[in-house]
Structure 1
Amino acid sequence: MAATDQEPDQPPTRRAERRAQTIAEIKTLARRQLATEGTGGLSLRGIAREMRITPAALFRYFDNQSALITALCIDSYDAYAAAMTEAQHAAGADPAARWRAGCEAARRWALANPSEFALIAGTPIPGYHARPEETGPAAGRLMQAIAQPYFDAVADGTADPTATLIPELAAGPLLGGDAWPASPVPGILITAWASIQGFITGETFGSIAQLTADPAELYQAHIRTVMRGMGFQD
């Protein structure tokens, strides 16, 4: 991605402000394309045409199309994590209530932002491969929002990971790396989130809404089922 023009802790110059505005406009148009054309429909030429500039001018802001997609992915991870974290904070101190609130917020965000959700959980964009060193920190922030209520529940005894059937695993990078000792907790979080996100994906892009008159009620039951599988105490 192209470098920024502003030094840290300096007030923004007019040039930096204009640059930020242009980057924001490029992203807005790109998201609009994704919403109308799908993940395979992103076109730098189309964005340049709408902005009435040459395609080459876009390279002043993003080195290539992959850099633009990466920026959009990072924004999506951050927005997804922020929605979950805000709901968790509003739920209070109880870890179970925070986990549930985070799951509810995840569904609301995905249904409200299907094209952004598709960037990080849907159909891969042809020819694009995310670089972990670029998208990893943002994905880690999302994983932290997912994991923290469960860490707290295990710490205060409101969830018992030994009551599950998940084997002991060492945590991967998004769960704390080598600092987290081998235990069932990483595997529990991975399987729990895979189940939650699978439901959300099925409702956002699939046929769940056609199979039940009340997907929201079914989702609430799904959350409760997943929580029991995580060892949360009733």
Structure 2
Amino acid sequence: MIENLFKIPEHVAIIMDGNGRWAKMRGLDRVYGHREGVKTVERTIKFAKKVGIKYITLFAFSTENWQRPIEEVNAIMQLLVEYIHEKLPFLKENDIKLLFMGRKEGLWDSVLEAMKKAEDETKNCSSLIVIIGLNYSGKAEIVDAVNKILKSNVEKIDEESFRNYLYLPEIPDPDLLIRTSGEKRISNFILWQLAYTELYFTDVLWPDFDEEEFLKALYDYQSRDRRFGRV
């Protein structure tokens, strides 16, 4: 029950894995799994806002995902554009800000236009901030940060100043990372920011991830003793 939650993470990151396997288990095309996954995104965002989470980061498309069949890549991009345009009124009505992180090179013009529209129209929203990792790679983010530093002619960099060169330096590091589908790896996702993040893995495939499963992750999180290197 939600009433039993007493320690809510400020920032939850999610690797949304298992759409293709979910569809294959049902004899359906992988694209159908991605469509069901989009429905899960919506209910996950609603639940995050309901319990008081302030930031939620969703890994939607990695730089490695370009290696998938072109039909699947095209379907994912089209789904993203459709979702943004369809759900933008909902986001604004519920005071939800939408941000994107990742490299823009290679993305469709229609995707870039939808991203800009969403960020512009939700920039004053603040009750929940949703970050979408799109064409994203943790290694690429660090490399891009280093290249920015080289161009800036800064004489000295420490950990705090380094984060100023990341894609979204103003966003706090995740308290909790959830990965669905049973895989137990972080797959090149926000590598710098995950240094002290609590990790939670579930066998549930992303389209089946519901409020009950989210609660299980939150209950597990509130049982952790986060010492950050201290005794």
The alignment's TM-score, normalised by the length of structure 2, stands at 0.28
Find the structure with the greater CA-based Rg.
1
- With a CA cutoff of 8 Å and minimum separation of 6, indicate the structure with the bigger relative contact order: 2
The alignment's TM-score, normalised by the length of structure 1, stands at 0.28
Q: Higher helix proportion, which one?
A: 1
Q: Higher strand proportion, which one?
A: 2
